[in-house]
Every structure is written in C-alpha cells, then in structure tokens.
Amino acid sequence: MALDHKPDHVPVVERNLDYTHFELRSLSPHLGAEVRGLDLSQPLSAAQQAELRRAFLDWSVLVFPEQQLAAEHHKALGRLFGELHVHPQLRGSDMKHPEVLPVVTNENSPFTPGDGWHTDVTCDEIPPLGSMLYVRETPSCGGGDTLFADMYAAYELLSDPMKEFLEGLTAIHDGAGPYNEQAELLGLPTPEGGHPRTEHPVVIRHPETGRKILFVNSGFTTRIVGLSSAESRGVLDILFRHIESNPKLWCRVSWQPNTLTFWDNRCTQHHAIWDYYPHARIGGRVSILGTTRPTA
C-alpha cells in the first residue's frame, strides 16, 4: 500500500570530504564536524582558510579540540570571517576585549547564557554570521554539552502545505524578552533606548549556499506578522516544537577543555545544557557580524 505521507527523513546532502589541510570527522550525517590538524593560534595560509570556509559551509558547526588560544588569537580567527560583534550588554563597557563575550557559569550564576534553543541576536537587523565559542574549562563532573540544530533540515522536514503557508510571512524578533530577563537576574539596568527589535522573513535563503532555512527561534521570535495573536502563538509553538523535539535535526558537541566551536548562525540554532550545577564551565564567545539582512 502506498504511504499517504512523506517519511520524515532529513535529506543527506552529498559533500566533498576531500580535505588536504586538516582531518575532518562528521558528528552527524547532516550537521557538525570535528576538525584536527590545524593550530588556530597560528596564521592560517590562504589554502587552509579556503578549505576551512568550504568545511564551514558544508557542516555549519566546526569543532576544534586541543587549541591554546588567548583572546588575541580568538579575535584574529574571528576576523578572518568578518568584523566582530560587540554584544548589546557589553556595548560601552571598558573591558579590554569587549568583542569576547564571557560565557562563564558557576555555582553563583543565576542562569547560563544560551540555556534554551535560540539563534544568536536575531533581534538585530543583521544578526551575526557566526560565533566562535572557546571553552577553556569544562565541568569536573562532566556535562555542559551544547546541542545544535540544523535549520536547513528543519525547513526540509516541514510538509509541503506548511512550507507553502510560511512562504512570504515575516516575524518579529525582540531582544526585550531574553535581555530584560537576564538583566533583571544580574541586577543590570535596561540600556537607554531599549533592546533591538526587528522583522525577518520566516523562511530565508542562506546568502552563500542559497539553501532555504527555517528562521524562527524561541529565544527571540515573538510574533508572526499578519496573523492573529492566537494564530501566531499556535504556529510558533508548532515550529518551536518541531525543532525542540526532533533529534534528527541535532548534533551534540561534548566539550573538552580548550575546544573552540565555530557555528554558522544563519542556518543553526543551539542550546547550552546546564546539567553541571554547582560545577563551573568557563569560556568566551566571539561573534562575527553578518553582512546582509536575512532575505527570502
């Protein structure tokens, strides 16, 4: 008997696995790869950079274990891919490296940054292209992994009627929710002028690969424009659940001390798992500015 529904398979995209400047091992057939054989504290040759860019576009999440990186190395690596972002909460601060957002969680932390599915800073008109998180210390009890979700595959797995419905819709991405909550927990004032808020298409195309991406996230997306409030809530809940409940979309990064992970913020979401309280995890994140608004 013929199936009356499409099986839920994530299409495997064929990739050229021929890398000459490093070894690459995939973390899942769709998303994420571990890269060994490059010292990221040293200048990379043009050929190494070109191969790294190809791997980045192919795998969206690249994990580099056993790296010894000072803030200067971290920033220099980020600058190979574009200008660096300064997080709204650090703008105007007098830290020596405001481009390196501390990602530190210990027994005194009221929350851990990124503990929930999100894409970084989509409340900006041009969200970051990608982020590089360098974890120097991992919890002594283990844990502290990060889940990543493939938003190309999230789009592909939607049914055709749902894809058709979402085509042409836009959504509001608002920084007020997450940032006010964090500021309150940290006892920080709301910045003058409030937090960024913007509108993006619900389905976008990756500016370099041209592939379609589902571009809503439960961290920042508050409303689908043109739907009633109840409809918007219902549709967003379906889409968030699609991402949160589907392990086929994910890969899991298990950090070792001194690991750097570089993710493509345009086509992934991530979720930092805080399963190690009261132990500590210590790192810093550099984000690279995007160059174009997300477009359909």
| Min CB(167)–ligand SIN separation in Å | 29
Nearer to ligand SIN, 48 or 268 (CB): 268
Q: Is 120 a catalytic residue?
A: yes
Catalytic residue among 120, 124, 150, 264: 120
Nearer to ligand SIN, 116 or 170 (CB): 116
Nearer to ligand SIN, 131 or 232 (CB): 131
Answer yes or no whether residue 84 interacts with ligand SIN by CB under 6 A: no
Report phi then psi at 129, rounded to 5: -65, -40
| Min CB(255)–ligand SIN separation in Å | 8
Nearer to ligand SIN, 212 or 285 (CB): 285
SS3 61: strand
Contact map string, positions 206 to 225, toward ligand SIN, x by CB under 6 A? --------------------
Q: In terms of Cα–Cα distance, which of 11, 67, 75, 58 is closest to 37?
A: 67
Neighbours of 175 (CB within 10 A): 21
CA distances from 68 to 6, 121, 241, 294 (A): 47, 27, 38, 34
Instruction: Please list every residue from 122 through 151 that binds ligand SIN, using CB under 6 A.
Output: 131, 133, 146
Q: Provide the 8-state DSSP code for 32.
A: -
Q: In terms of Cα–Cα distance, which of 173, 180, 177 is closest to 197?
A: 173
SS3 125: coil
Written as one letter, the residue type at 200 is H
* Size of site (CB under 6 A) for ligand SIN: 9
Answer yes or no whether residue 61 interacts with ligand SIN by CB under 6 A: no
Report phi then psi at 172, rounded to 5: -90, 135
Q: Is 87 a catalytic residue?
A: no
Instruction: Please list every residue from 260 through 289 that binds ligand SIN, using CB under 6 A.
Output: 270, 272, 285
Answer yes or no whether residue 113 interacts with ligand SIN by CB under 6 A: yes
Q: Is 285 a catalytic residue?
A: yes
Catalytic residue among 118, 195, 242, 281: 118
Nearer to ligand SIN, 173 or 270 (CB): 270
Angle ∠(244,7,263) on CA atoms, nearest 5: 40
Q: Is 241 a catalytic residue?
A: no
Which residue blocks in the chain are alpha helix, DSSP H?
A: 46-59, 71-79, 151-156, 160-166, 176-186, 229-244
**Nearest residue to the partner ligand SIN, using Cβ:** 114
Which residue is listed with tokens 């550099």? Answer: 286
Q: Which residues bind ligand SIN (CB under 6 A)?
A: 103, 113-114, 131, 133, 146, 270, 272, 285
Could you list the active site residues? 118, 120, 270, 285
